[in-house]
A and B are shown apart, each in its own frame.
Chain A
Amino acid sequence: MLIALALLAFGLGMFCGRGLGRLDRIVTSRFEGRLFRVPSRVYTAPTILYPGLNIDRAGLPATLERLGYRREPNGRVERPGGFFWEQGRLKLHLRAFDHPTRPEPARRISLELYGRDIDQILDLETRRELSAVLVEPEPVGAYFGPNREQRELVRLDEVPESLVAAVLAVEDQRFERHRGIDWRRVAGAFWANLRARGIRQGGSTLTQQLVKNFFLTPERTLRRKAQEAVMAILVESRYDKEAILEAYLNEIYLGQRGPTAIHGVGEASRAFFGKAIAELELHESALLAAMIQSPNGVSPYRNAERALERRNLVLHLMRRQGRITPTELAKAQSEPILLATEVIESNETRYFLDALRLQLPQHFDGESLASDGMRIYSTLDLRLQQHAVEALGRGLRELEERFKHLAPEGRPPLQGCLVALRPQTGEVLALVGGRSYGSSQYNRCTQARRPAGSVFKPFVYVTALDRQAGPLVTLASHLDDSPLTVDTPTGPWSPANYDLEFHGEVGVREALERSLNVATARLAQEVGIERVASMASRLGIESRLPEVPSLALGAADLSPVEIGRAYATLANGGVRPEVRFFEDVVDAEDETLEQRTLEFERVVDPATAFLAVTLLEGVVESGTARRIRGQLRGPVAGKTGTSDESKDVWFVGFTPELVAVVWLGYDEPRSLKGSASQLALPIWLRFMRAATGGEIRGAFLPPPGVQRVEIDPLTGARALPGCPRRRSEYFLQGTTPEETCPRTPWTKRHPRDDTPGVIERLFDRWLWGQQ
């Protein structure tokens, strides 16, 4: 009998031991591995403030609101993240920006305003004038795992004592003394529940709550409760109180921000108060602690009154437990609840985030992006992005209202894309890859390849104008727009114009301004299709280009981003930029993992690029995009594009500082029954007006090697006094027309190759005032 009992006890011991061992392994593997998955966050480029900047045009008030800057009621901006408006002045306490190579200190500044322009920036500590200051980058999105949890990890030594005290007061007042289970509290809860004949009160310690969240399901069974208790004891026996408390504070669920779950006090501090955890004050700490029990029920955004009531309850509890003084209680209780603006992550930036992700090296896979807590500093300009979203969304809706055929019932909707980049650096400032990310994640700016149509034509003209190749034409040359048939392996090819007419002899400018197909196709034949394809590649087109005659008219499937890059090369004087979506990637330990340097390469000489730009300016001045004039002041160039049967419409336009591409079409191509200037151009214009305020800075100036000469537009000859028609035109040096009007008739299309001598040029300049 004794032996049997002993064996039974042994067996029980073995059973319990194995169970304990299993639980212990679960506990240690979690605690000693990665405790939390922290999604990597993407940030905008920083906002830069400088004298002369208009704060409204720069969107500063909205930026401060999104970043959670708070209006300081007393006029002093002593805490980072505070601001105060005075007459003609905005005082700001900028937060520090932590970055391994480009940190910025927290600083108190005053923006002295003249109207809404910054007149002066003063450092409020030193009273010194500052040339420029940076507002920290804004988070715009994150690469989540399947559970969409967002957290900002904090170390216990960063957490203010007031928060620890508040959490312990309300959740586990004997945390420092128990070993995982608070038996007094268990007994109290048991008695309360017995009296209530149901479960009314829990007796879980903070350690038990942590165990439940980490390892167990939320079901309320005795077996799960027993497991929770055993594991809590195991956790307490293996790890110190600080480690447990830190894990708890980082794990605890504190509500929702749209579809994203807020976990941990670090994230909650940012979400609710717009500040780092270390900056929390007592009344804010009490509010966070109050929310633990019922995060959404006590959310100050949803139920401010209840939140205030619960916060004060926590403060009283803290006082009763001797964790705060009566004075602290009175002060904290008198504080109103001041919240940061609730920023719900929208889908507006998701297309950009997807494109950025594709540009990251392969080792940044989905798993590491969803768990490693990296910070990715992008090139996104949130102000431009919002304008782009607005322009495309509203533009498409308005088109559908105006042209009913664009929105037939029961068929997938009209789609579009808008991408804007900086021509000098290739930085993508805004990107909207479709009309709704929620309904389609297909990125039409980067993933789609669609027939380029006439937006390809400028590449034909650049090739023909290229100094290295001759050049074959000047801007005063005439092209033949009469019927053309080219033999191809698939049979004869005969291009037609959009208006189904032929226009005979037309000037180069007119041919591009009116987007004449036949004249352009003939020019491409003269230049050589392979050279056109090669030029397009040099300018930045990466897709494969079919070397067929119709390539000249855009019979190549290209992405909006690569077209934007090729136009950026022209806008940038022939220097091709690399397209960039991010600047650098920093890991959780503050090490830079990846950095994108500025990369560019001269691919076309500046004079040729300038001639192409001036041709494209002509499209805006008097061609298919002339409706831009009157709505934008300053240098603008661009090209409309419509593919076969109007299945795709494009507008690519640029200023000296911004290139923007708009594409519209259906995912399953069908005719839009409209032209690019009717459909794509208004969206581009809406975006550009918002982005620039209607005033374009800078100019496209002719570089050395370009001459401006008066010509007779009819013949292309140099216009002398007495010539009945004249306009000025740009020429590469050495290609000015030999013929003159009215002395000799125009007979020769090709420019002469010789450069005028010094005396000839001086004579010209003196006599006719030509440059």
Chain B
Amino acid sequence: MSALRMALVVACALGVCVACRGIGPDRAHTLEADVPTWHFADVAEEGDARRRASNRLVDEALSDELADTPRAVERIRRALQVDPTNPWAYLALAREQVSRGEYPAAWAALDQAEARILAEGEIPPGVQAHLSGLRGRVLVAQDNSAAAFPLLAEAARLAPAAWDDQHLNAAELR
């Protein structure tokens, strides 16, 4: 019982600490400064052989030579053939579809990217920036500015280098 009592006391102290964490100067700002812009290159060499091979095809799709051409979509499809669970392939697909004006398809690809990322863990803030930004772009194109602006603002806040212009080009994602 004494151990339990002690545990309760420690827990109470811990609780106070946690409750007080939000008090103080501009915490959100501090967090943002810690969030580096997420690039595909950060994860390109992660995972097993299939994931890495799939990532290399995504990398080709994001290259200056192929980005924003039909061949980029083709490369992403091959990446998904190698590894259909690759979230980055869906993210790259969504970016490509936004730049091609295929908005409903892009929205669905973002759903899929999110589902695949969640199936492997949590969404890193840098990736969240791209998801939000791309969703914002889709909503703008669908004349839903009210819903789009908070998302684009979130993207710009989390990844200002990539989203300040409210646009994500292949090089910025790569």
Contacts and interface: CB of A to CB of B under 8 A. Distances in A.
Interface in A732-748: none
Nearest to B102: A597
B14 A766 contact: yes
B122 A606 contact: no
Contacts, number: 122
Contacts of B15: 758-759, 762-763
B18 A758 contact: yes
Interface in A650-688: 656-657
15 contacts: A50-B49, A50-B56, A53-B50, A132-B57, A424-B85, A572-B115, A575-B112, A598-B80, A600-B111, A602-B108, A657-B84, A759-B11, A759-B12, A762-B15, A766-B14
Nearest to A381: B81
B78 A132 contact: yes
A762 to B, nearest CB: 6
Interface stretch (B28-36, B69-77, B143-151, B156-164): B69-77
A697 interface: yes
A762 B11 contact: yes
Given A51-B53, A52-B52, A606-B115, A766 B120 contact: no
A362 interface: no
A697 B82 CA distance: 12
Contacts of A600: 108-109, 111-112
Nearest to B93: A598
Contacts of B154: none
A639 interface: no
Contact of A697 (B50, B108, B120): B50
A295 interface: no
Task: Return the 7 tightest CB-CB contacts between A and B, nearest first.
Answer: A52-B49, A131-B56, A50-B53, A759-B15, A573-B115, A703-B118, A102-B74
B35 to A, nearest CB: 18
B7 A767 contact: yes
Given A102-B71, A132-B56, A575 B115 contact: yes
Interface in B96-126: 102, 105, 108-109, 111-112, 114-116, 118-123
A656 B80 contact: no
B19 interface: yes
Nearest to A99: B74
Interface string B47-66: 01110110011011000000
Contacts of A46: 78, 81
Interface string A681-723: 0000000000000000110110110000000000000000000
B109 A601 contact: no
Q: Is the interface of B mostly helix, strand, loop or mixed?
A: helix
Contacts of A597: 102, 105
A48 interface: yes
A45 interface: yes
Interface string A563-582: 00000000011110000000
B19 A758 contact: yes
Interface centre among B15, B19, B78, B112, by most chain A C-beta atoms within 10 angstroms, is B112
B144 to A, nearest CB: 17
B97 to A, nearest CB: 8
A425 interface: yes
Contacts of B11: 759, 762-763, 766-767
Contacts of A472: none
A573 B77 contact: no
B109 A598 contact: yes
B70 A52 contact: no
A599 interface: yes
Contacts of B111: 575, 600-602
A52 B50 contact: yes
Nearest to B120: A701
Interface in A753-771: 758-759, 762-763, 766-767
A598 B12 CA distance: 52
